[in-house]
Structure 1
Amino acid sequence: MIVVNNARVLVVAVLSSLLLACGGSSDSDKKSESNVSPSPSVDIFIGESSAAKLSFDDFDAPILDAQSELELENTIRNFDYFRHVWGITERGEEDYAERPWGAYHRCVDEVYHTQTFEPVADGYYKYDAQELDLSRCMHFYYDTVDSIELIENDVRSTSFLVVKAYNDSGAAVDFSAMSLNAAVVLFDTVAELHYLLKSKYVTHRSTEKDYALGGTVVETWDSDQSFMISSHDDENKPCTVKNGSEGAFSNCAIYELDVENDKSVYSDDSFPETNDVTFELSKAHFNDVVGEKDAEFFSSGTVDFQFNGWVGQLMYHEGASPTYTANNGEQEYEGCINYDNYEGDPENDCYSNL
């Protein structure tokens, strides 16, 4: 269903861009480290935000859809956070006007940037956006699709972001009254960033008509998508990102759970009515990964991951493709992630070196 993919684009465009705009370490890291105290728990100013109350327990899916080895391979290859965050940031800086659904992305940005950061405690600043209504933005997307008509939609997003940053001299950065867009730009220039994001993205109901199959398909889609970045051991503590020519991304955990209920009714009696509920779970714990800013992948460190029923570990290597091993309780699987310039060339296929 196109709306499902579109919602995933929205989450990536708005939420993951916050993380992906954060770089690695610099030559001044040693200087800043001497001025930076350990990050305390930020639960003292969590407040009543529904997003801020997300915890590890919220990412235990009651049903985990089975994935084949090929599906696992595709999931890992397309999980953006496994690719070097700075490379992704650069690829994501294209002009929205040149992209499909450009007006849709601009609309989403405009809604999010109506909120600003405010100081809380101990040098931290928070961005607390409650129940932002993104429903009107969906119409820009449907304007690009010839055969689908949007009948009804209610799309809302709640986000809670906490940051504490230091510049090259070790001085704290002031985010007061900054828009989200301004803060994201600044994230890429600070020497060290302590970072916590909890976001709950909810589509209460979307209904559309698709006229492309020789008849009419009326599809109703309900989705609940939750996303969180925190430290490994405490959902109320931030992870640490360092900027510069070489980077570190340590003690960071990324959690994502998509629960989708998709119902389709066909005008052609040869197609029965369908009603599918699916769960997609992603967990990734980054263990002291480091790498050069312009590289596509980190050069060292590991990531412990879970994708639905598969659990495993991804390993970064100096000058080589990342490799991984995974287990679903019944079988073992090993694989790798090719560089972007692979382009199907067997000589560049990382699997040939496994």
Structure 2
Amino acid sequence: MTAVESVAVVGSGFAGAAAAILLAEDGVDVDVFDAKAEVGAVGSGITIQGNAVRALDRLGVWDRLKDHSYAFDEVGLRAPDPAGTVLAVVPDAKTGGPDYPATIGAYRPDVARLLVERAEEAGARIHWGARVEGLEQDDSGVDLIWNDGSGLHRDRYDVVVGADGLHSTIRAVLGIDVQPKRIGMGIWRAFVPRPADVTRTDLIYGGPCYIAGYCPTSEDRIYAYLVEDAQERTVLSPEEQVATMRRLAEAYHGPWDEIRASLDEHAVVNYTWFTQHLIDGPWNRGRVVLIGDAAHSCPPTIAQGAAMGLEDALVLADLLLSADAVDDGLWQRFSDRRLPRATAVVEASMQLAEWQLQHKRDGDVPGLMRRVAELVSVPA
């Protein structure tokens, strides 16, 4: 008999859907609550490293995602010159092992949809438009109080998993006073047609932005991004946002000439700030536990954010399904397996960002990337 028979998961994002899949497919009664009206995610791309692909395979999603993604095994570096000169092409570490690509690009909403569909197939019930209003717990379980617009409901679970993102309601309800902090960088993202010669991620350092990059997400689409000093860009109209990204892109060439031409009146771009936070200690309070962005976030400088959330879910499900009691020992084992790894990834991501913010050119980027690759190549 496992430690849990019923679990509530708050949040249907990558970490929440992953936890729901693993628990439901092993016979646990799973309810997923999401305040959104339907499955959705920011409509741009995502770069997913091999260790996350390995996790997606365990979740039964990788075979389906192959048709909605673009795989590659190297990364290019280009100069911020009029030709967009290729300076180097470097093999990327296969952190998921030899059976998986080093990296894939995908349209984030596609990944979110496939994960939710898989959770429902496994038997999880998804409650859309359901807002959590409170939690009450004792030694034997947790009462979840939620509202779907028809009034308050109260249901009891053995464990509640808070996977409700950066601005987690569950984190606030638990009284954990840790908030994402802006680090001083903002990123423009656009989802545009793929130039024929874009077959991998290329990065340009220098010019008006810290990074100009792109990642192919399918045979015909890429997402392109520009990282700048964080600014209040939300006051701009959609047309002004597109014009601003196009203006910043004028400094970059090679495939960027074609990308820039795609930033026309029909283009959709989005702008977000990079943040960082980490709950430096237990991620649970009693029988309620936080995973994914509710527990930690970091700038996407090493593209490990999604991987860490997926790994949180895999480890948590493994422990809940293999233990015979929800006790301090279970939570200590979870902390032992997740906190050091998440901390190392957050710190490495922040180190790269700080080097860029300081315009430091002598940082040991290859050494840092090698250490992260070695760490995440070992299954969580």
- Normalization by structure 2: what TM-score? 0.28
Higher relative contact order by CA 8 Å / sep ≥ 6: 1 or 2? 2
Query: Larger % of strand: which?
Result: 1
Identify, as 1 or 2, the structure richer in helix: 2
**Normalising to structure 1: TM-score of the pair?**
0.29
